[in-house]
Amino acid sequence: MDSGSLAGISNKKSLMAAAINAVLVASLLGSSYGCPFPAIYNLGDSNSDTGSVSAIFGLPPPPYGESFFGRPFGRYSDGRLIIDFIADELKLPFLSAYLDAIDSNFRHGANFAQSGSTIQPAGGKLVDAGFNPLSIDVQLLQFERLKNHSNEIMKKNPDFTDRLPRPEEFSRAIYMLDCGQNDLHYGLITSTEEQVKASIPNIISQFAVTIEKLYLEVARIFWIHNTGPIGCLPVFVLSAPPKPGNADQTGCIKSYNEVAQEFNKQLRDRISQLRSQLLGARLVYVDIYSAKYSLISDAKKYGFVGPFINCCGHFGDYHVECGETAVVNETEIFGASCSDPSKHISWDGVHYTEAANYWVANRILDGSFSDPPVPLAKACR
């Protein structure tokens, strides 16, 4: 073989090596980038409702919304929710509530969450107890309606893209689910803890069906929150203080939190099973419970007052709902806001303040509380 041939082979090897290196570098660089999620679709309850219930029944009264929006803005908090901080992280606008027909924009997703919603279909007893009839199975139907109707419109008029999702982007969106607290809440006020635990497998199965149906529709990337420490909500702790031996080291109702922990264990196990069934899907389980409990148990360390001192309204020796009035000892009392909501974890005894939501969001966005431990922005990987 002459020197020219040898030089040619050498050049080809060099070019091939350079190409391989380029691919490796590109791969490494690409792994540091986030996922270009074009949209968020969210199903859940009041922890992530950005206006669905208020679109039907009217806005919550002042002082809801006072810390960020300056007025009631469809959220059951003084300001933004975790879902709002998630949208910020993904460089997307706040999610429009699906049921809000005024000025809604679904170009980058939609929020189907309903305050008071449950995973289990809301029958007569749930509705009579004050829970929302638009449970998560109904929210799924609303998503299907949005997707199918948007696709029909886009086929007829491809230029109509300003306020509707693009058909090809549904499969690249991130699908979030945050529901289950109300199922446990309902059970705890109508039955025993053991009876609630016995109902959990059926509730989890219904949750899994929702995930499977979303997958069959188009969803591939899921970000799924477990339920928070329900035994630490002031509405329970102050209205019915834990009996001797039933308070944990923080002062929460131990047996109530054990119910939430059992729910979360079964949810995590079912998500693990779904990973092997739903080919090509990415399911991230987010341990909201641990993030919230760490804040509650070390409230003063993080600059908050006691975790059972809700900012708005009053529980305990008398009861006044946030933003409402009640007559106490022949005196009309208004459920006003505290002077500094940013120092409180609980806003109204059930929902968290914007400050607490921000704290929790910052803990979960980097994947520290996720299984697998992947940051939100890289959940597609």
Burial status of residue 158 (CB atoms within 10 A of its CB: 0-12, 13-18, 19 or more):
exposed
Catalytic residue among 46, 54, 77, 135: 46
Catalytic residue among 45, 84, 178, 348: 348
Question: Which of 111, 113, 106, 112 is CA-nearest to residue 150?
Answer: 106
* Inter-residue contact 70 to 198 (CB < 8 Å): no
Helix (H, G, I), strand (E, B) or coil at 177: strand
d(CA 223, CA 282): 8
Q: How far apart are the first and last CA of the chain?
A: 48
Bond before 63 cis per omega within 30 degrees: yes
Name every residue whose Cβ is closer than 8 Å to that of residue 281 and which is 6 or more positions away in sequence: 215, 219, 220, 221, 222, 274, 275
Which tokens is 12 given?
């080809």
Q: Is 259 left (phi over 0), alpha (psi -120 to 50) or beta?
A: alpha
276 is an active site residue: no
Q: Please say whether the beta carbons of 94 and 87 come within 8 A.
A: yes
CA angle 92, 95, 99 (to 5 degrees): 155
Residue 13 in 3-state DSSP?
helix
Is residue 328 a contact partner of residue 317, using CB atoms and an 8 Å limit?
no
46 a catalytic residue: yes
| Closest of 201, 93, 196, 206 to residue 140, by C-alpha | 206
Q: Which two tokens stand for residue 352?
A: 């968290």
Coil, helix or strand at residue 200: helix
Residue of 108, 185, 344, 351 with catalytic role: 351
Q: Is 319 a catalytic residue?
A: no
- β-strands 370-371, 282-286: how paired? antiparallel
* Residues labelled catalytic: 46, 348, 351
